[in-house]
Structure 1
């Protein structure tokens, strides 16, 4: 079996297994065309078979692996069209939601959105990716809830998780945390000003930029 490392900071064992396998793919330890045993994977990572299977199911849903019944699993190379599909879904949902957050979000919700952006700025200034990405996710989630779209928020959270499994973040292509924060500033500024068209346009521009960089990462 290849050399894999189980992360210690994942939210759950299943998440840790999924991340260990994804990291193994990125490092070339797991390669397409080879069938790997689920049981050996569990033993290698020191976990029971249940979280190992759950982690692999998440990767299968993301399109990163294929589970072979009674045989194990094989790695599938991530495809650019996977990212394009995911961001396409987000483009259909998040810009209109940003507009709704601008038009109908409460003062309290807008204050929380402002605070999330400030947390992103502080993390970007400190170069703290571990704090930056949760603040980024929180900002998007707050915008969706301010729009009155909790089900959409759940869908977007799942899509973001799938995107993370498919490849490295856009910082791998040279995009800085400061640049990512800067893309969110016009979104929040428009929302706080209750500028519906501005909020929709800024969110669309941010997602289109993200799509271009993620696709470029996969095509390297």
Structure 2
């Protein structure tokens, strides 16, 4: 029956998304550790779901470069080296800094002001220690800002880099409140661009990316010896 089949697929897809969100949250918190292999049945037991949506969600995370499949064992959380982070930051700086300057000189006031609610959401989420909402708003802000340059391939390249690195270190930064300072730089950037101050906007973006990289490094030093906690929180059934 087509209707019942479609409904089943919808429910399964929703559960898969819930599981993926729970796994991302565990990655952010550092409960899923780089280099460690986790089996789908073990994670499923902690989440309170079957192994199938866990495997499907892990495949989604693998496509984002956050985990990798290990034959007959499960999935290994991708290890992010200092060199990886340096290279990601370098590429983003080469792309995003001049693009911000170009957008500041060419975008309309209406286009830039349309991004202000996202900039405020980033600050609010950081202040409320809601890392998942922070990530969502931050991701949308940066990519929508870059899209104003009119080059979709450029946006896709940056999106790929962000997926590989955006979870690193956010857990501790959120706990210590240091994420707020990074969040506020989005508002500063938008203010400079709206004022047509292209050179200063470029410098702000360069400083923002360097700031994020420094926070990553500091967090890497602070996570040594962190205690073991349950890997993931159980998924709540859909209301």
Match for 1:180 among 160, 171, 182?
Answer: 182
Closer, same or farther in 2 for the Cα pair 1:102/1:155, shift >3 Å?
same
Q: Which residue of 1 aligns with 2:209?
A: 207
Query: What is the CA-CA distance between 1:105 and the residue it aligns to?
Result: 0.9
Closer, same or farther in 2 for the Cα pair 1:41/1:176, shift >3 Å?
closer
Query: Normalising by structure 2, what TM-score?
Result: 0.67
**CA distance in structure 2 between the partners assigned to 1:47 and 1:189 by the alignment:** 48
User: What is the aligned length?
Assistant: 206
**Structure with greater contact order relative to length (CA < 8 Å, sep ≥ 6):** 2
Which string of whole-angstrom CA distances, capped at 9 and with x for unpartnered residues, describes residues 22-53 of structure 1? Answer: 268x237x6856x543344445531452x433
CA RMSD between the two structures: 3.5
Q: Which residue of 1 aligns with 2:17?
A: 12
**CA distance in structure 2 between the partners assigned to 1:193 and 1:11 by the alignment:** 43
Q: Which residue of 2 aligns with 1:171?
A: 174
Query: Normalising by structure 1, what TM-score?
Result: 0.72
Query: What is the CA-CA distance between 1:59 and the residue it aligns to?
Result: 4.4
Mapping of residues 15-30 of structure 1, within 5 Å: 15-16=20-21, 18-19=23-24, 22=27, 26-27=30-31
Q: Which residue of 1 aligns with 2:128?
A: 127
- Decide which moves more: 104-113 or 161-170: 161-170
Structure 1 outlier segments of 4+, above 6 Å: none
Note the residue ranges of structure 1 that are not aligned, 5 or more in a row: 1-8
